[in-house]
């Protein structure tokens, strides 16, 4: 859709959320790559460049420079590469650059960090957070068409009984509960998330699981 000034004002009124992020200017390819891959690994999203965190419209000094930085981040700092869709909106004599990232069908996407390692990010509320191994596996396997065959052994039953009583559990608690290796516990959790039996919840402090 062709965006108009009132669309931008409506976005700003909504505030930053799971599919919307404000940036006054693009200063680092590494930092912005996190947001781009988090959108692609989620349901997609829009980046409003020229808008401060508090929603003040500052406008961009050079839309070409901002586009160059975003394209460089999307092509060189994201793997697989991403293709932002750009739109310029004139609002109150200023230009807001909108960069849209569609939901990807080749998840997970990795961002190149300042440590020169590739990391997966996901969007949680208005933040781009590092994905756990379980979430990376869920993203990787959710692209594939085959269903997940769940065999309810005592390990799965014990987890579901625990969740009935305590509502949530972490991967570490689950591996301790059944004396499983962390990897084995994660594999069971990935299958249960993919089959819709449990939900994974990521916060800035921890990751935990609840019954669906």
Say whether 124 sits in a helix, a strand or coil: strand
CA neighbor of 34 nearest in space, from 115, 155, 150: 115
Paired sense of beta strands 20-23 and 198-202, if any: unpaired
Q: For residue 196, what are its two tokens?
A: 């819709």
**Integer Cα distance of 80 and 109 in angstroms:** 6
- 84: burial class by Cβ within 10 Å (0-12, 13-18, 19+)? buried
Residue 112: what are its φ and ψ, rounded to 5°? -80, 120
97 SS3 class: strand
CATH code of the domain made up of 5-131:
3.30.950.30
Bridge-based pairing state of the strands 118-124 and 85-91: unpaired
Query: Where, residue-wise, is CATH 3.30.950.30 in the chain?
Result: 5-131
pTM: 0.89
Q: What is the per-residue pLDDT for 2?
A: 87
Q: What fold characterizes domain 136-211? A: Arc Repressor Mutant, subunit A (1.10.10)
**How deeply is 12 buried, as exposed, middle or buried, from its count of CB atoms within 10 A (0-12, 13-18, 19+)?**
buried
Look at residue 50 in the predicted model and tell me its pLDDT.
98
pLDDT in 10s for each residue of the chain, 212 residues: 689 999 999 999 999 999 999 999 999 999 999 999 999 999 999 999 999 999 999 999 999 999 999 999 999 999 999 999 999 999 999 999 999 999 999 999 999 999 999 999 999 999 999 999 999 999 998 877 566 666 678 999 999 999 999 999 999 999 999 999 999 999 999 999 998 899 999 998 899 999 99
* Of residues 1, 9, 84, 100, the one with CA closest to residue 46: 100
Pinpoint the residues of the chain covered by CATH 1.10.10.10. 136-211
Both tokens of 29, joined, read 């390819």
């Amino acid at each position: 859709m062709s965006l108009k000034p009132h669309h931008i004002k409506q976005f700003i009124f909504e505030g930053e959320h799971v599919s919307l992020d404000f940036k006054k200017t693009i200063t680092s390819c590494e930092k912005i790559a996190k947001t781009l891959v988090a959108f692609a690994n989620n349901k997609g999203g829009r980046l409003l460049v020229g808008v401060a965190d508090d929603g003040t419209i500052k406008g961009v000094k050079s839309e070409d420079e901002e586009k160059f930085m975003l394209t460089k981040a999307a092509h060189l700092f994201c793997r697989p590469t991403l293709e932002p869709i750009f739109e310029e909106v004139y609002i109150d004599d200023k230009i807001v650059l909108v960069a849209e990232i569609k939901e990807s069908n080749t998840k997970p996407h990795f961002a190149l960090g300042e440590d020169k390692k590739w990391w997966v990010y996901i969007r949680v509320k208005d933040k781009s957070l590092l994905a756990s191994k379980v979430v990376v596996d869920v993203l990787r396997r959710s692209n594939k068409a085959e269903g997940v065959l769940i065999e309810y052994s005592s390990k799965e039953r014990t987890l579901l009984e625990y969740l009935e009583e305590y509502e949530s559990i972490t991967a570490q608690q689950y591996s301790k509960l059944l004396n499983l290796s962390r990897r084995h516990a994660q594999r069971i959790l990935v299958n249960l998330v993919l089959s819709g039996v449990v939900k994974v919840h990521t916060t800035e402090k921890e990751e935990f699981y609840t019954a669906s």
